[in-house]
Amino acid sequence: MSRVAGRTDWAEEEDEDSLQLPQQQITKNKDGTETITTYSIRDDGKKVKTTRRIKKTTIKQIVNPRVAERKHWAKFGAEKGKPAGPQTDTTSVAENIAFRPVANWKASAEDKSETEKKKNNLKDAKIKCRICSGDHWTTKCPFRDTMAPEGEGSTAGPLDDTPEAAGALGGGGSSYVPPHLRGRAGAGEKMGGKYERDDLATLRVTNVSEFAEEQDLRDMFSRFGHVTRVFLAKDRETQRAKGFAFVSYADRSDAAKACEKMDGYGFGHLILRVEFAKKST
Amino acid sequence: MRPILLSGHERALTQVKYNSDGDIIFSVSKDHVVGAWFSHNGERLGTYHGHQGALWTVDVDPTSTLLATGGADNTMRLWEVKTGKLLKTWEFNTSIKRVEFSPDGRQLLGVTEKRSGHLSTIVVYEIIPDPEAEQTDEQSLRIVCDESKATVAGFSYLAIYIIAGHEDGSVSQYDAKTGELLFNTQAHEADMQITDLQWAPDRTYFITSSKDKSAKILATDSLEVLKTYTTDTPLNSAAITPVKDYVILGGGQAAMDVTTTSARQGKFEARFYHKVFMEEIGRVRGHFGPLNYVAVHPQGLGYCSGGEDGYVRVHHFDKPYFDFMYEVEREQANL
């Protein structure tokens, strides 16, 4: 306002401001990419410099002339008059499906019937007799009447005994499986919906800024592939991040890529450390 | 593999088909409308309006100029693919369950339903492959299926035979000139309906799917069962993939039983089997109802499936699909 007399119009002043911004710059790099630098003013009045590196690839595809001609056919029926390109009301893109054919798919698939699962559960479980340490149930031990259970004199049953066989406590007739054992055998339908938790494609991110939000992490990590789950540990009282998080991908190769790229990435004022999560027990 | 979801239909899909170049997908559904879609991006080219009842079947001629449909309004109709114009309507006493063009596009076959005093028939019309031409009303051939009704039918290579699948699980071979029954074989379990019949690219063999939870490859000439693929669910459709030696099977619990079971148990997945070794190699999920039809891209680049849930899912195969080989196949390839 104290500039030149007669130039008090606010609109013009604004104009002058934007003129001071440097022009957009496009530089071609040696490796065939382009760097585009643009300047803009944010809502809060601060000047922002945006640098983008873009790689342009031309994909040439030879199509049958008949097919090429059909691509330019006019739309008709319910589509009449609609612009070219897929319409969002009729066409959408579904979530990525990893389809990898494998020989002997049946055996590798976990889609087995309930009874089979239980049988396998029992097969894997190590049965150890508390009396003679043989591989049978304590109740079926041939020395049941003659010997007392190992390492104890009292009759109180040790509660922490043979947790592997817990799925079949009570002589194998019971179908109860304690919650902490359910996950790995996959008994029943899993809670938590569509994604089976895949530890193989889960990253552990540490040294996360305490002001981080789950969405920030999701934004950063979804660059490398479809992120199925983001868990950011937070303090219950302060609601601030505790400094570590887990990010799961639908695909392990995406996870590996993200692990490589994001390890050492500066976020907030800290350097992220990214590694594959260790298998939880 | 990121499937494209086509949600233009309001009711269950009954059949989906690629044209011979694989760039357009035609879909018919119980909502009376025929849809045409570009397969590469899922864009809808248009819709064909005119049918008054649920549609059961669709087929396109080899040059992608004419489209035939049949449905529960007892009509078989011919459309111009490019404009959506109705060219011809043939009326029948019962609904049309299956239409198919001959390999040269000059004959059109229709399978009529059996109902109240009308036996199931297979009718054939001569077609002039020109949208301007007046099509004939005269049937060039009429085969009456008095034993068991025909559910599916198609022309063999060079349109020498007509092969039909029946409600009782048998497969028949008719002479396509005279309509004479040459051969009938009980390919699938008795009284288990044959739900689909799709051809290999050269039409010297075909695959049938049945409610008996199996799909079989039969030789066109001898009707000999060459391969059997057994599953754990009733099948609605089976397709043979070109390029790679696979078959794709689609099915699932009958629509009426769906509400009583969970999606997991419903087995609404496309199943991939190796064509030669008859072993399952993978599944693709996505539908939340039974798959009513699976169709394969003629160049083997992808497949699409139409489900009872009203969606068409278009899949473009990616690298692992093409790379997969059995050990013996790999040895053979390296020789």
Residues 6+ apart with CB under 8 A from B69: B28, B34, B48, B51, B55, B57, B58, B76, B77, B79, B99
Residue A16: is its pLDDT beyond 80?
no
Point out the domain boundary residue: A71, A94, A129: A71
Per-residue pLDDT, averaged over A228-233, amounts to: 89
Closest partner residue to B84 (CB to CB) among A76, A84, A101 is: A76
Residues 91-120 of A with CB under 8 A from B: 91-106, 109
Q: Is residue A252 in a domain?
A: yes
Angle formed at CA A192 by CA A160 and CA B321, multiple of 5 degrees: 110
Instruction: Choose the closest CB to A101 out of B33, B64, B321.
Output: B321
CA distance B4 to chain A (A): 5
Confidence of residue A17 (pLDDT cuts 50, 70, 90): low
- Report chain B residues whose CB lies below 8 A from the CB of A70: 23-24, 45, 64, 82
What total number of domains does chain A contain?
Answer: 3
| Distance between CA atoms of residues A115 and B300, nearest Å | 38
Evaluate if residue A197 carries a pLDDT over 60: no
The average pLDDT across A229-248 equals: 88
Fold of the B4-334 domain = Methylamine Dehydrogenase; Chain H (2.130.10)
Q: Where are the domains of chain B?
A: 4-334
Closest Cα in chain B to A103? B281
- pLDDT higher for A170 or A281? A281
Asked if residue A244 is part of any domain, the answer here is yes
Which residues of chain B from 157 to 216 reach within 8 Å of chain A, CB to CB? none
Tokens (6 digits) for A60 = 């040439």
Contacts of B268 (CB under 8 A, 6+ apart): B252, B253, B285, B287, B288, B289, B290, B291, B307
Most confident residue range from A7-11, A32-36, B146-150 = B146-150
Q: B222, B182 in Cβ contact below 8 A?
A: no
Q: What DSSP character marks residue A274? A: E
Residues of the domain holding A229: 199-276
Q: Do B8 and A78 touch (CB under 8 A)?
A: yes
Task: Output the pLDDT for position B148.
Answer: 92
Q: Is A231 part of a structural domain of the chain?
A: yes
Question: Residue A71 region, left (φ>0) first, then alpha (ψ -120 to 50), else beta?
Answer: alpha
Query: Is pLDDT above 60 for A5?
Result: no
> Does the CB of A233 have a partner CB in chain B at under 8 Å?
no
Contacts of B18 in chain A (CB under 8 A): none
Higher pLDDT, A39 or B228: B228
The residue from A154, A185, A216 where one domain ends is: A185
Q: Give the closest-approach CA distance of A254 to chain B in angstroms.
A: 14
Place of tokens 């396109």: B60
Q: Are strands B86-91 and B96-101 parallel, antiparallel or unpaired?
A: unpaired
Place of tokens 């199931």: B120
Band (pLDDT 50/70/90 cuts) for residue A150 is low
Q: What is the ipTM of this complex?
A: 0.81
Q: Is A177 in the same domain as A206?
A: no
Residues A126 and A64 in one domain: no
Report the pLDDT value the prediction gives residue B266, as an integer from 0 to 100: 61
Residue bearing the bigger pLDDT, A274 or A152: A274
Q: Does A170 have pLDDT greater than 60?
A: no
Does B288 lie at the interface with A, CB-CB under 8 angstroms? no
Average pLDDT over residues B34-50: 94
CA B130, B133, B136 angle in degrees (round to 5)? Answer: 110
Give B299's pLDDT tier (boundaries 50, 70, 90). Answer: very high
Based on the domain organization, do A204 and A267 belong to the same domain? yes
Looking at residues A196-204, what average pLDDT do you find? Answer: 74
* pLDDT tens, position by position, A244-265: 999 998 888 889 999 998 999 9
- Write the pLDDT tens digit of every residue in A94-132: 888 888 898 888 777 654 555 556 666 666 666 777 777
Distance between CA atoms of residues B210 and B238, nearest Å: 9
Q: Per-residue confidence at A189, pLDDT binned at 50, 70, 90?
A: very low
Percent of chain B with pLDDT over 70: 96
| H or E element that contains B293 | strand B291-296
Residue A75 pLDDT level (bands cut at 50, 70, 90): very high
Please tell me if residue B25 touches chain A, with a CB cutoff of 8 Å.
Answer: no
User: What is residue A169's predicted lDDT score, i.e. its pLDDT?
Assistant: 45
Of the pLDDT bands very low, low, confident and very high (cuts 50, 70, 90), residue A211 is confident
Query: Is residue B50 over pLDDT 50?
Result: yes
A271 plus A203 within the same structural domain: yes
pLDDT at A23: 79
Q: What is the CB-side half-sphere exposure of residue A104 using CA atoms within 13 A?
A: 3
Helix (H, G, I), strand (E, B) or coil at B159: helix
- C-alpha A36/C-alpha B286 separation (Å) is 40
Closest CB to A106 among B23, B280, B317:
B280
Q: What is the mean pLDDT of chain B?
A: 93
Span B92-96, average pLDDT: 95
Burial A190-211 (b: 16+ CB within 10 A, else e): eeeeeeeeeeebbbebeebbee
Same domain, A259 and A211: yes
In a domain, A107, yes or no: no
Do residues A216 and A168 share a domain?
no
Which run of H or of E encompasses A38?
A: strand A33-41
Please check whether residue A87 lies inside any domain of the structure: no
